[in-house]
Amino acid sequence: MDVIYDNDEVNFAGRGSALTIGAFDGVHRGHRQVISTLRALAAERDLRTVVVTFDRHPASVVRPESAPLLLTDLDQKLELLAECGVDATFVVRFDELRSQESASEFITNDLVDSLNAKLVTVGNDFHFGNKRVGNVALLTEMGADLGFETLAHELVDVNGQPSTESVSSTRIRAALRSGDLASANEMLGRPHEVRGFVGHGDGRARDLGFRTANVAVPETICLPADGIYAGWCRTPDGVNRACAISLGRRPTFYEFADTSLLEAHILDFDGDLYGEELAVQFVSYLRNELKFDSVDALITQMGIDVDQCRSLLLG
């Protein structure tokens, strides 16, 4: 898949493009259904497939006080879009200047002049451009003059069927925050994954007998609810390794911790990961975070958690 930024020189003359537009945060099952349909339509018309997306969530610029936490960072999003089999992803750098661009300018400059759009498919409720005045009606009207067809698609459920209970990034975030990891993963079509660099902790984990990697996840990324999870950790060598995940404020040791800490105990692994980036996947929720009466009680429970992870993930 080609990754093209909006200030790159683009030459899409000749063969036209079938494209879809959106934030595509999470590249969840609903997004994948849209892209699958786009690819089928493009094949019928001998067009290349292009996903138009943004380098950050537009809300982070337009209304930063209420911008959502992200399910994927840009690198993750591009990797997932590549898995969908599109020919190219066109990344719009969404800054203050871009937020003031009119919908008609976006259609003319980016969709037509840069990408040679011949087919545009978006959701029924899709809005874009300054003050969100762009919609399906405007795309249809301008497309008739500029030479592209507009198709609106319905929102779909986890089975790809039209539904009022459609898969959406908003619903996935809500499920994660409420502790419903199973529903979030079902809508994503994969385990929720976060990434961050390993830093030094307070050194207590080794004394407890369970060495952990303290993963610093960016504040812009959506984490699940605090708790203990079974999951996978992709180490720098590219290997996915089973792990027990603790996400929380460690109430046994800290009464008033301000933020949650992500710690991953990687089973049967003792390598040095400090300063390395890890990808942590949340597969199964095990239990709530608890405050134990003693360190020995905590160690006993940690052993139970690790055994449960081993059974769930490795059989």
- Provide the edge-to-edge strand list for the sheet that holds 48-54: 2-5, 88-92, 48-54, 17-21, 117-123, 149-153
**Residue 231 β-bridge partners:** 243, 282
Structural domain ending residue among the three candidates 120, 139, 170: 170
Please tell me the total count of domains within the chain: 2
What was the pLDDT predicted at 301?
87
- pLDDT for 257 equals 64
Distance of alpha carbon 25 from alpha carbon 125, whole angstroms:
16
Residue 187 domain-assigned (yes or no): no
Q: Is residue 278 within 8 Å of 245, Cβ to Cβ?
A: no
**pLDDT per residue as tens digits for the range 147-192:** 999 999 877 666 666 666 788 999 999 999 999 999 999 999 999 9
Q: Is residue 147 part of a domain?
A: yes
pLDDT value of residue 125: 86
Q: Is 65 a catalytic residue?
A: no
In terms of residue numbers, what domain contains 145? 2-170
Predicted pLDDT at 201: 67
| pLDDT (0 to 100) of residue 252 | 56
Q: How many residues does the chain have?
A: 315
Whether 48 and 159 map to the same domain: the answer is yes
| Alpha helices by DSSP H, the chain | 29-45, 59-62, 74-83, 96-99, 103-106, 136-146, 169-178, 181-188, 204-208, 295-314
Can you read off the two tokens belonging to residue 233?
A: 């950790």
Question: Are residue 50 and residue 85 in the same domain, yes or no?
Answer: yes
For 218, the 3-state DSSP assignment is coil
Q: How far is CA 214 from CA 135, 199, 239, 259, 274, in A?
A: 44, 6, 18, 13, 9
- Res 220: pLDDT: 95
CATH number at residue 233: 2.40.30.30
Q: Quick check: is 183 in a domain?
A: no
Residues 64 and 33 in one domain: yes
**Exactly one of 263, 276, 277, 289 is catalytic; which is it?**
263
- Confidence (pLDDT) at 292: 76
Domain-ending residue, one of 137, 170, 203: 170
**Residue ranges in the chain whose pLDDT is less than 70:** 156-164, 201-208, 250-257
Quick one: 163 and 198 in the same domain?
no
DSSP assignment of 55-115 = SS-THHHH-GGGPPPBSS-HHHHHHHHHHTT-SEEEEE---HHHHTS-HHHHIIIIIIIIT
178: in domain: no
Task: Please tell me whether residues 12 and 141 are part of one structural domain.
Answer: yes
User: What pLDDT, on the 0 to 100 scale, is given for residue 138?
Assistant: 96
What's the CATH code of the domain at 45? 3.40.50.620
Phi, psi (deg, nearest 5) at residue 260: -80, 145
Quote the pLDDT of residue 307.
94
Q: Does 30 reside within a domain? A: yes
185 lies in some domain: no
The number of CA neighbours under 13 Å toward the Cβ of 30 is: 25
For position 216, what pLDDT does the model report? 95
**Rounded CA separation 177/199 (Å):** 25
Given 155, 170, 185, which residue is the final one in a domain?
Answer: 170
